[in-house]
Amino acid sequence: MCGIVGFTSDEPAAPVLLRGLKCLEYRGYDSAGIATICNGQLNCGKDVGKLDEVCTNHNLIGLVGNTGIGHVRWATHGGVTMENAHPHCDCKQEIAVVHNGIIDNYEELRAELRSEHCFKSQTDTEIVAHLLEEYVEEGLSLEAAMRKVVRRIRGTYSIAAISVREPGRLVATRKDGPLVVGRDGNRKFIASDALAFMEHTHDVAYVEDGDIVVLDEDIVFTNEDGAAVDRAFKTIDWRWDEPTKQGYDYYMMKEITETPDAIRCALEQDKDLILDMAMNILRAKQVVFTACGTSRYAALVGRYLFSRLAGKFCDVIMGSEFHYFSDSVDKNTLVIAISQSGETADVIQGVKKARENGATIFSMINMIGSSIARMSDRSIYLNCGPEIGVAATKSFMSQLAILYLLAFTMANRMDEGIQKVRDVCDTIEGVIETNGLRVERIAGLTKHNNSCYYIARGINFAIAAEGALKLKEISYIHAEGMPAGELKHGTLALIEKGTPVVVICPKDYTFEETLANAAETKARGAFVIGVSEENHAMFDEWIEIHATEEIFYPLVTVVPLQLLAYYSAVARGNDPDRPRNLAKSVTVK
Ligand code: AGP
């Protein structure tokens, strides 16, 4: 979603800002822009399109000045137009603002300011530039003006601003939006994601809700009342790898092939931490997973594992709905939040509410130092490295690995669990190799279908749902995944001649019943794609998987489904890394 970068030093800002925005591109965006200050003048360039195009068409690299801000926008309020791209400026072109999030009361503020100010965009963000202008005109510094703005706006935001009246200074604030500061001598950075400046420094401090941070020769944090607050700098231990496709056509394929390593890295955890978390989960009166999208499907696998291995029942509630259940969340509740980015606004909202009610928060996160990690009582990192493709692949496998680790530890079988997951992991390379060409051919057969259904039972139901999510996300084919037994309660009405139905039916105790459900679709003309270790007369196409223990099938069944989605997207001419309308990090509700 939107990404913010800011930089101040005694060297040109534009190259650093553009490098930073490049690192945030993977989050998904529709327009880009930067603003710099030089000799009492604000230079601003922005437009719709890819960063490289905007950069070339508006000569962004040529914008002079040592202080600046940059932004990649994912439209919420106002269409995808040049006017709506950030930065937004005040009437006098003295102040520039970038914003990530949503200002809920922008209409009311806009109505108030309209008679005195000239609005150029339809965005909620522009009101911040005009409010700052109002307060600076009253004689306030940019910092004091920002403090006053914060009292006027409602919503979720990370905001950074510069003013020609205070060259060499950046002022920023946040509420429920990500914002991190970095320093490297006299070079000061701010961004919505530390990845934006990770190639320059690992020395970071996190901006907390309500903080106003000023970056110039120093970095000073103050609270809403202007009192200084201490935000400790720490070194984040994250190796910076330039995101490259390493010979693959797309990041998504590279990331699928990185799965075995991702699983192995996820298993490298502090055993005491895992033990402590497992004990707390067992002891908790009520355990609730909360997550969105793919991470929620990982939670569904986790729920099954906790029940099957440790006899512990848990609920799974999607992030955007969790806060509606807050009446039932109290100090006896243990919440496990799962999120690759650690910045998903829907999850943050539920977790915040649960914390207020006294719940304990555990989390499983990939992005180090992210908001959810910092809100948690205990957090486990996935350790799978940055995931660039919008479609989650390797991070899902890392989440599963940690859930196996926790479940086996809850059953007092930690070492056995680690060994077993490692063994299954070795077979995953084979799954990718065996199925690549076959799945590509199947994708070619089904690429013109409008709908596709995925069915499975037991632990693999979550994999059916995940397979369907992957397909719709990047191929834009309508897809639904469901428990096989649920099909006849409605969805069967949609099956007609040639409808692809992906049947995940490993040879475990669900095999016969799942196959019976597949037969019901076949009888209505479905094109049945079986995912199993053995071929069957029922299957029109067969995707082979390795035999394993029942509980480990998700690890081997999901990979061919990721490949099916990938090849379907490519066959339809889509970019699987950057699906339309979607963002990697969903920082708005
Ligand atoms: C997965 O392919 C999707 N891009 C999406 O559903 C994602 O899983 C969801 O937005 C949650 O993201 P998170 O794991 O970063 O919280």
Taking only the tens place, the pLDDT of each residue in 369-415 is: 889 999 999 999 999 988 999 999 999 999 999 999 999 999 999 99
Cα–Cα distance, 487 to 557 (Å, whole number): 20
Do 188 and 219 form a contact (C-beta atoms < 8 A)?
Answer: yes
Read off the pLDDT of residues 343-354 as tens digits, 9 standing for 90 and up.
Answer: 999 999 999 999
What are 252's two structure tokens? 């998504």
Read off the pLDDT of residues 139-182 as tens digits, 9 standing for 90 and up.
Answer: 999 999 999 999 999 998 999 999 999 999 999 999 988 899 99
Does residue 293's CB lie within 6 angstroms of at least one atom of ligand 1?
A: yes
CA dihedral over 104, 107, 108, 109, signed as positive or negative: positive
Average pLDDT for 460-488: 97
Ramachandran angles phi, psi of 519, nearest 5°: -60, -35
Q: Please enumerate in sequence order all residues whose Cβ is within 8 A of that of 4, keeping only pairs 6 or more positions apart, or say none.
A: 69, 70, 71, 98, 99, 100, 158, 160, 179, 190, 191, 192
The DSSP symbol for 482 reads E
Q: Which residue has the higher pLDDT, 472 or 243?
A: 472
Q: Which atom of ligand 1 is nearest to the CA of 583?
A: 4
The predicted pLDDT at position 489 comes to 96
Given CATH 3.40.605.10, say whether it is the number of domain 3-235.
no
Do 502 and 495 form a contact (C-beta atoms < 8 A)?
Answer: no
Cα–Cα distance, 34 to 4 (Å, whole number): 10
Read off the pLDDT of residues 543-559 as tens digits, 9 standing for 90 and up.
Answer: 999 999 999 999 999 99
Q: Indicate the burial class of 358 (C-beta count within 10 angstroms; 0-12, 13-18, 19 or more).
A: exposed
Read off the pLDDT of residues 252-297 as tens digits, 9 standing for 90 and up.
Answer: 999 999 999 999 999 999 999 999 999 999 999 999 999 999 999 9
Does residue 339's CB lie within 6 angstroms of at least one atom of ligand 1?
A: yes
Q: Is the pLDDT of residue 572 over 60?
A: yes
Least confident of 49-53, 124-128, 380-384, 585-589: 585-589
* Mutate-to-test residue for ligand 1 from 388, 586, 589, highest number of ligand atoms within 8 A of CB: 586
The predicted pLDDT at position 222 comes to 97
Residue range 246-412, CATH number? 3.40.50.10490
The predicted pLDDT at position 322 comes to 96
Element (H, E) at 11: none
Does residue 471's CB lie within 6 angstroms of at least one atom of ligand 1?
A: no
Average pLDDT for 30-35: 96
C-alpha 230 to ligand 1 mean position (Å): 33
Q: Are 3-235 and 437-575 equal in CATH topology? A: no
Q: Is the pLDDT of residue 418 over 70?
A: yes
Helix, strand and coil in the chain, % to nearest 5: 40, 25, 35
Does residue 127's CB lie within 6 angstroms of at least one atom of ligand 1?
A: no
Smallest CA separation from ligand 1 atom 5, residue: 293
Q: Following DSSP, what letter does each residue of 160-188 receive, concatenated?
A: EEEETTSTT-EEEEEEBS--EEEEETTEE
For residue 149, give the 3-state DSSP assignment: helix
The set of catalytic residues is 2, 584
For residue 152, give the 3-state DSSP assignment: helix
Smallest CA separation from ligand 1 atom 9, residue: 293
Q: Following DSSP, what letter does each residue of 493-538 receive, concatenated?
A: GG--TT-EEEEE--SSTTHHHHHHHHHHHHTTT-EEEEEESS--TT
Q: Indicate the average pLDDT of the chain.
A: 95
Residue range 437-575, CATH number? 3.40.50.10490
Tokens 């309209």 found at: 114
Q: Please enumerate in sequence order all residues whose Cβ is within 8 A of that of 429, keeping only pairs 6 or more positions apart, or say none.
A: 260
Q: Which atom of ligand 1 is nearest to the CA of 393?
A: 2
Q: Helix 394-410 and helix 553-571: axis angle, to 10°?
A: 170
**Domain ranges (residues) in the chain:** 3-235, 246-412, 437-575
The CA angle 402-408-412, to the nearest 5 degrees, is 135
